[in-house]
Amino acid sequence: MIKFAIRADGGSKIGMGHIMRTLVLAKELAKTNDVFYICKVNNPLSDKYKPGIDKIKAEGFDVICINENNILEELEKINADCLITDSYDVDENYFMQTKHLFYKTGYFDDMNLYYFDVDFIINQNINAEDFKYNVNNDTKLMLGCKYLMLREEFRNVLKKHTHKKVHNIMITVGGADPSNITGEILSWVKDLEYTFHVVIGPSFNSEYKLEKLRNEKVKLYYNADMYQIMKKCDMAISGCGSTLYELAVCGVPTIGIVIADNQKAIACRMHEKEIIINAGICNQLEKYSFTEHIENMSNNYNLRKNMSLKGSELIDNKGIGRILSIIESI
């Protein structure tokens, strides 16, 4: 039995993406290994980190908390065989130091910013194979949608039927929404003739504003069952993080919004492959062009059907199995 430590954080500023994708791997590793998490904390503990810690504990994993200002010193005290990091709070020194502290190390990457002194890298994004990674000769690279780790409920999805008329549209921007993009979108679309199914992430800090917009055409979901909402909806408006891949698997035609820098290239590639319509960067959106995207997609049955088909063909359900085989062979 191997002892795995997973270092990841989630909260009001950075969202929940690092937590959610590592949990997919953690659950599979935990079937035959010992798995626990390492999370940064501030003093006093705030929404900067608390939602991530709460989610991990709710999924049944132990959490070791480390001081956000002394990460490497704190990691020296950790007893584990393998450290897997999913965080942007790293640099080349971090990878070199942790390589000496643990028997094996791995990293979830999106940006290819450093020389990575690790045993394996996982980049499951659609553009991952474009990167020329600077790594050791024996570093295992798991790149592209072939290694996409789907949550269990998304692994055997039935083919979606494309309706001639759009009735239900999902809105999801991620685990956090510090700029209240969700509220702005709702203010633009509230007069359109659709029912909007709005996902409220665990790190949202302006739910009270959204509650004022709730009515029979605007449904709000806390602790959302994402698969059930996707199954119900004819279209989606989504941030361009990991949710895009789940929408693709479910065959939901999507208007993508770039929420963070690491989503730009993903949105462009998904648009090129006609899996999404890339509406652009969130703080540059305009009401008229955005609602036009919605109406154009809604009124074009063949476009939606084609997007649904291409999305559902992008990913198989074997990514997590491929990753486990490689990690266990290192």
What pLDDT digit, counting tens, does each position of 291-307 carry? Answer: 999 999 999 999 999 99
**Torsional class of 163: left (φ above 0), alpha (ψ -120 to 50), beta (otherwise):** beta
> Which residues are part of the catalytic machinery?
18
Please state, in angstroms and rounded to a whole number, the distance separating the CA atoms of residues 255 and 47: 29
What pLDDT digit, counting tens, does each position of 76-135 carry? Answer: 999 999 999 999 999 999 999 999 999 999 999 999 999 999 999 999 999 999 999 999
Task: Could you list the residues known to form a binding site, using ranges.
Answer: 151, 246
**3-149+316-329: which CATH architecture?**
3-Layer(aba) Sandwich (3.40)
| Residue (of 64, 47, 45, 55) closest to 20 by Cα position | 55
CATH, domain 153-314, list 3.30.70.141, 3.40.50.300, 3.30.1370.140, 3.40.50.2000: 3.40.50.2000
Please state, in angstroms and rounded to a whole number, the distance separating the CA atoms of residues 44 and 34: 29
pLDDT of residue 58: 97
pLDDT of residue 204: 87
pLDDT of residue 239: 96
Q: Where in the chain is the domain with CATH 3.40.50.2000?
A: 153-314
Residue 203 scores a pLDDT above 90: no
β-strand partners of 108: 122
Are 231 and 165 spatial neighbours (Cβ–Cβ below 8 Å)? no
Model confidence at 12, in pLDDT bands (50, 70, 90)? confident
Model confidence at 266, in pLDDT bands (50, 70, 90)? very high
Please state, in angstroms and rounded to a whole number, the distance separating the CA atoms of residues 93 and 188: 46
Q: Where in the chain is the domain with CATH 3.40.50.11190?
A: 3-149+316-329
Model confidence at 13, in pLDDT bands (50, 70, 90)? confident
Residue 208 scores a pLDDT above 80: no
Task: Could you list the residues known to form a binding site for substrate, using ranges.
Answer: 151, 246
What pLDDT digit, counting tens, does each position of 218-237 carry? Answer: 999 998 999 999 999 999 99
| Residue (of 216, 217, 207) closest to 183 by Cα position | 207
pLDDT of residue 179: 86
Percentage of the chain modeled with pLDDT above 90: 87
Alpha-carbon distances of 110 from 140, 181, 244, 253, 262, rounded to whole Å: 16, 23, 15, 24, 6
Model confidence at 149, in pLDDT bands (50, 70, 90)? very high
